[in-house]
Structure formats: structure tokens, C-alpha cells
């Protein structure tokens, strides 16, 4: 019996390392092949077709403005920046792009008070302090208080949140520069569109109920006329049984 020679298996660990794994090995091999093309025009056309194919691999990013620029940079990175092609204007890929570090994020050095409201609320309060007194500032402060009450309820779902607590916290955070005493209850500071939505829902329920009543009334009217026809038919059947021009019924001619 002839023994077959063992197949030479090639494992991924024996192949070249993928520079950007999300595009796969075939894209990397095509870019490496484009480097070997001697004709500049043919090489440019091949690289552009490769970029078009890379865009088809991720169609959800096709509408992004800088996505094609990102693909050109990835192509140069896979080619080890040794690719003689002309990228679109404004794109100058270089090895220095791989060593870019993100900007340092400035974290707050001191922990703010009233952390359950969040840092954004305190920014809004500082912005409100800078505004000139007037209706616009009062409306802005009222919106901040409404959001503060919402945030307080999020952290204290089992306890009642009173307006006095929100007003006191607002005065403390603003160092007494903002007050809600003249604006009334915070319960009335809800968005106006909520009332409109409730009115629309109520009107929709009324129209649905009226439509249902009309449909039931029409069914009842149609059912009444049908009943008349059935009774008429019943009367006709009764007259036939009594011998009124119908089939002969021997029971009616039975001798007494």
C-alpha cells in the first residue's frame, strides 16, 4: 500500500505578523504586492482599488468625512511607509503618526461637594451666576433646580425630595447668589411639552372612545334590521306550516 506524503501545513504563527488585523491577511498581501509594481500609474490605481475594497469591508463608516483619510494612513502603515503613491491632498502619512500620544486629560484636583448632583450642575450654576439678572436668568435657574430635583430622586428613590432641600442646596452651591424663593414651587418647573403631551393623549383617548361608541351603534343598528328580516322569514315559515300556499302538511288535514 502506497503511503501518501504528509501535507505541509502552514500555520498562522509561521506567517508574517498582521500589521492591522481588522483588514485581514489578504489586504496586507495585496498592499505588499502593490509595492512590487514598477509602473507608477498602475501602482496608484491598484492602491486606490485596495482602499475602495477596504471601505466595502466596513460600510457603516462610509459616510464619515475622515474615514478615507484614515484608510490611506493604514495603507501606508501596512506598507511600512515604503509605498510610492500619491495620497489625496492634505495627507502626509509618516512613521511619526504611530508615536502620537493623546492629549492629557485634566482631572479635578479637589472633590466637589454635593456629588450626587454631578459636576455639570455646578458648571451650570457658575454659568448662571455670570448671567445678567432678568427673566432669562430666572428661567435658566429654574431649569437647573428642576434637574437637581431629578438627580436627587435618582439617588434617593425611597425618600421624599422637598423643594426646601433643593433651594437650600442651590443657595449653598452658588454662595447665596442664586435663590428660588421668588420663583415658586419646583414642581411647576417641568417642561411645557409634558403638559401638551398629556393633553394630546387625553384627546386621543376621547376620539378613540367616540369612535368605538359609533362603531357599536352602527353594529346595533345593522343587527336590528337583520332581526327584522329573520322574523319576517319566521313568519313566512309559519304561514307555510299552516298551509298558506306552502307545501302540503298532512298534520293540518288530520281528522279530529
Interval 7-57: pLDDT, tens = 777 777 788 889 999 999 999 999 999 999 999 999 999 999 999 999 998
- Among candidate residues 20, 22, 41, the one with its CA nearest the CA of residue 32: 20
CA distances from 136 to 128, 139, 173 (A): 10, 5, 20
Helix (H) or strand (E) holding 150: helix 135-155
The span from the CA of 209 to the CA of 215, in Å, is: 10
Whether this model's pTM surpasses 0.75: no
**CB neighbour list of residue 161: distance below 8 Å, 6 or more residues apart:** 149, 152, 153
SS3 13: helix
Q: Is residue 162 very low, low, confident or very high in pLDDT (cuts 50, 70, 90)?
A: confident
Confidence of residue 226 (pLDDT cuts 50, 70, 90): very low
pLDDT digits (tens, 9 = 90+) for 71-86: 999 999 999 998 899 8
* Torsion sign over Cα 111, 117, 123, 126: negative
**Whole-number pLDDT of residue 39:** 93
Joined together, the cell numbers standing for residue 132 give 445678567
Residue 90 pLDDT greater than 90, yes or no:
no
Mean pLDDT calculated for residue range 161-189? 76
Amino acid at each position: 500500500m502506497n503511503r501518501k506524503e504528509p501535507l505541509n501545513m502552514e500555520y498562522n504563527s509561521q506567517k508574517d505578523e498582521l500589521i492591522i488585523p481588522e483588514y485581514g491577511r489578504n489586504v496586507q498581501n495585496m498592499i505588499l504586492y502593490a509595492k512590487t509594481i514598477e509602473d507608477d500609474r498602475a501602482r496608484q490605481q491598484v492602491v486606490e482599488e485596495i482602499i475602495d475594497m477596504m471601505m466595502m469591508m466596513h460600510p457603516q463608516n462610509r459616510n464619515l468625512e475622515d474615514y478615507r483619510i484614515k484608510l490611506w494612513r493604514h495603507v501606508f502603515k501596512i506598507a511600512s511607509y515604503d509605498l510610492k503613491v500619491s495620497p489625496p491632498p492634505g495627507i502626509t502619512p509618516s512613521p511619526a503618526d504611530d508615536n502620537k500620544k493623546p492629549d492629557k486629560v485634566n482631572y479635578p484636583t479637589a472633590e466637589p461637594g454635593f456629588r450626587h448632583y454631578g459636576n455639570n450642575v455646578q458648571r451650570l450654576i457658575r454659568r448662571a451666576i455670570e448671567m445678567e439678572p432678568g427673566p432669562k436668568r430666572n428661567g435658566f435657574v429654574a431649569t437647573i433646580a428642576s434637574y437637581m430635583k431629578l438627580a436627587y430622586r435618582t439617588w434617593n428613590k425611597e425618600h421624599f425630595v422637598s423643594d426646601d432641600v433643593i433651594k437650600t442646596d442651590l443657595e449653598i452651591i452658588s454662595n447665596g447668589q442664586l435663590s428660588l424663593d421668588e420663583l415658586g414651587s419646583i414642581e411647576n418647573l417641568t417642561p411645557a411639552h409634558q403638559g401638551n403631551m398629556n393633553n394630546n393623549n387625553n384627546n386621543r383617548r376621547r376620539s378613540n372612545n367616540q369612535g368605538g361608541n359609533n362603531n357599536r351603534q352602527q353594529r346595533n343598528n345593522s343587527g336590528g334590521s337583520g332581526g327584522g328580516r329573520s322574523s319576517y322569514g319566521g313568519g313566512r315559515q309559519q304561514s307555510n306550516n299552516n298551509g298558506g300556499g306552502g307545501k302540503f302538511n298532512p298534520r293540518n288535514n288530520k281528522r279530529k
